[in-house]
Structure 1
Amino acid sequence: MKNVCAPYFDPDFDNLTERIFGPTCRVCIDNESMEDCTVVMVDSVNKQGLLLEVVQVMTDLNLVISKSYISSDAKWFMDVFHVQDEQGKKLRDQNVINCIQQAIGSTRESTTPRSPKARAYTNNVSRPDHLSEHTAIEMSGTDRPGLFSEISAALADLHCNIVEAHAWSHNACLACVAYISDDQSSHAPIEDPRRLASIEDHLTTLLRADMVPSTGTGPSQIKSQEVKTGGGGLLGAEGTGTNVERRLHQLMLSVRDFDGPRMSSSAMNSNERSGTKMAVSVENCDQKGYSIVSIECKDRPRLMFDTVCTLTDMQYVIFHASVGSHGGRAFQEYFIRHDDGYPLSTESEKERVIKCLEAAIERRVCEGVWLKLCAENRVGLLSDITRVLRENGLAVVRADIATKRKGSSECFLCKRRLRE
């Protein structure tokens, strides 16, 4: 009988890359090379979504990325960021520097391979600890004047205390993520399945209140309504915590806010005069097998996160990128492929990428008045505030609500943009 031999694998083979190149993730922070910014350099073994995770770390720390160069060929990720703090200065706080190094290192080490769908809807930026103790609600659908006020009133009627909430409105679409507790005194999550089902049914009915039978192709026929409830982790992720802003992008994408009405010519001319004109294009580089996405628009904080997030959630892989800004204008160029290695193949696919990126850039930008409130929290406070706004003919087009404990009381912070 012939001996059957199995191939031998050296158990140290997996460590070969680290032996050659050093640790699988290196983060170097240089405060000496540039006069007006801090240079953050990241070298790491590459994986899908790593760029988004690195950008997310800096976004969570409210850092401004003024310039960046990305390269991730040959399974190795090399990135350089020029960053500043909110005051436009170098990073001098050692705690912030340590936080960047630890957070980027942990995103690389803590991630395990997932299916393409799960990977596209997951990152490793954790939610604050206190939010894991509350119930998460996600809502998406067609927007209408006063809808956010109606949602706040409905949750108050259902004896739900809103611990934190974030809502975006764009192109007649609404996306909202809220964390609720059973009541204000106990701060306990809602765990009764029947009560959770009742909340979902009530909110779903509210979102569908203005739906009409499908007799055409208007906005009310192309946008779906959805409400989900669950534990403290956001429901788009399978077992991990998804960043709230990324989840809002995903919810907006799911209700196709990019299919909304195009900007009128008069509005485009007005934007061009004010320096807010946006241009997005997609071309194929046949020699290298990439699709090149070029973006030019007004610069603002979190812009890079919004564009990288959208491309990642559309399951494109970014191999190279160059990001910069000058004179208040942002210039971004991404070399992308499908996750199967092929570039964009059809004009309709290129058009969809352009429309989705334009929508992602526009979602944070809204005209109106910025209202900031702070008060001691109580059940129904948000409902009362939004009712007053609605009764005075104002619509909430964006909202960020948070609470924090201060002794035995609650502090309530509400920021929203309003338009007549």
Structure 2
Amino acid sequence: MEYDFSSSWDMDDEYEKLIRRMNPPRVVIDNEVSKTNTVIRVDSANKHGILLEVVQVLTDMNLIIRKAYISSDGGWFMDVFNVTDQDGNKITDEGVLDYINKSLGADSSFLPSRRRSVGVEPSKDHTSIELTGTDRPGLLSEVSAVLTDLKCNVVNAEVWTHNTRAAAVMHVTDEATGSAITDPERLTKIKKLLCNVLKGSNKTRGAKTVVALGVTHTERRLHQMMFADRDYERCDDDTLDDKLRPNVTVVNWYDKDYSVVTIRCKDRPKLLFDTVCTLTDMQYVVFHANIDAERPEAYQEYYIRHIDGSPVNSEAEKERVIQCLEAAIERRVSDVRLFPNLRFN
């Protein structure tokens, strides 16, 4: 029996809108309580994924989250973020402060539907190409050559490599028209040729190419793509020094039915987004968290349960959580540029 998921999603969206109207988000921005940070407090009705959505807004504004305190135990979500700009200064620009209020407050749209969080939004400007495959020297040059031969212009792209795997989100246009590519036969040819390049000589791991007329949050999508590609499974010949690996632990607090995830690693921009994104995509709910990134070593502590209400139940599950968080932290290590207009992390 077929099930109409679009109808279900629409019902969910309408329910979220109703809850939002009854309990609109409240944002308080304070530049007086801390000598060094701007303090942003967000109170809202709770739902799965809301923490990621708030962190995503702040991260996309290039704000540095120095400290954070999260509590969402029950029907209400309360977050406090201590943030600065890229230079370590408080946020004083009225335009930026107003944008934060609008992005997170009662008039915001930071609660996207499920379709938007994992899919694409229509765009007439470009075609989005998602690639996953085995990393190897010269791979990006080969992808570039194929797209050039197919008369595709790469507008921008972001590529991550980790643990012998590669993932990319590319936005391309038709070389002749400068618009999105819509011809089905041409899109099928692009997918086929790129997939052949990504497969290479690897017979044990596959490759995947997805073409869509739209856009999505690129970094969130890259996390999802590499997670689906199981880049967290380390190779037998992985020689990375244990001292260079993030220190991730998972222990159960049986009295409260929480699993406590603790992360200690070198701090860097977007670290909080990367770890929260991974926990969310693994279907874990963060009930409480304490984040401290004011030192060279970042400290993150999460009190989580699975979306079904259970803590981490087995050693195998615990190991998988650790591996996935390590991978999420390590994915931004590479920094390779191929096209003048592209971003590579």
TM-score (norm 2): 0.88
Q: Which residue of 2 aligns with 1:264?
A: 239
Correspondence for 2:341? 413
CA displacement at 1:255 relative to structure 2: 1.3
Counterpart contact for 1:167–1:399, Cα < 8 Å:
no
Who is 1:348 aligned against? 316
Aligned partner of 1:168 among 151, 160, 164: 160
Partner of 1:202: 193
- 8 Å CA contact 1:143–1:174 kept in 2: the answer is yes
Q: How many angstroms apart in 2 are the aligned matches of 1:324 and 1:290? A: 20
Deviation at 1:224, TM superposition (A): 2.6
Letter aligned with residue 135 of structure 2: D
| 1:317 partner amino acid | V
The correspondence of residues 8-407 of structure 1 with structure 2, limited to 5 A, is 23-105=23-105, 111=111, 114=114, 121=118, 132-183=124-175, 186-212=177-203, 221=204, 223-233=205-215, 242-261=216-235, 264=239, 267-269=241-243, 271=244, 278-366=246-334, 398-399=336-337
> How many Å separate the matches in 2 of 1:198 and 1:15?
44
Indicate if the aligned counterparts of 1:53 and 1:107 stay in contact, CA closer than 8 A: no
**1:413 corresponds to which letter in structure 2?**
N
Aligned to 1:354, the other structure's residue is in SS state: helix
Contact 2:124 2:180 in 1 (8 A): no
The Cα shift of 1:278 comes to 2.0
Q: 1:157 to 1:294 in 2, by over 3 A?
A: same
Structure 2 unaligned regions, length at least 5: 1-16
345 and 176 in structure 1: CA distance in 2 versus 1, 3 angstrom threshold: same
* Matched position secondary structure for 1:89: coil
Where 1:251 maps in the other structure, the secondary structure is helix
Contact map agreement 2:103 2:110 (CA 8 A) in 1: no
What is the CA–CA distance in structure 2 between the aligned matches of 1:107 and 1:260, rounded to whole Å? 44
User: What is the alpha-carbon distance in structure 2 between the residues aligned to residue 113 and residue 255 of structure 1?
Assistant: 24
The structure 1 segments of at least 4 consecutive aligned residues displaced by more than 2 Å after TM superposition are 14-19, 105-114, 118-122, 260-265, 397-401, 412-417
- The two structures, once aligned, show a CA RMSD in angstroms of 2.6
**One-letter identity of the residue aligned with 2:263:** I
Deviation (angstroms), 1:99: 1.1
Name stretches of at least 5 consecutive residues in structure 1 with no aligned partner.
Answer: 1-13, 213-220, 234-241, 272-276, 367-396, 402-411
1:416 deviates by: 4.8
Point out the structure with max Rg over C-alpha.
1
1:250 deviates by 0.8
Hey, what's the Cα distance between the residues in 2 that align with 1:100 and 1:59?
A: 11
Q: What secondary structure sits across from 2:151 in the alignment?
A: coil
Name the aligned partner's letter for residue 156 of structure 1.
T
For the residue of structure 2 that corresponds to 1:39, the secondary structure is: strand
Equivalent residues, number: 328
The answer to whether the Cα contact below 8 Å between 2:102 and 2:108 also exists between their aligned partners in 1 is: no
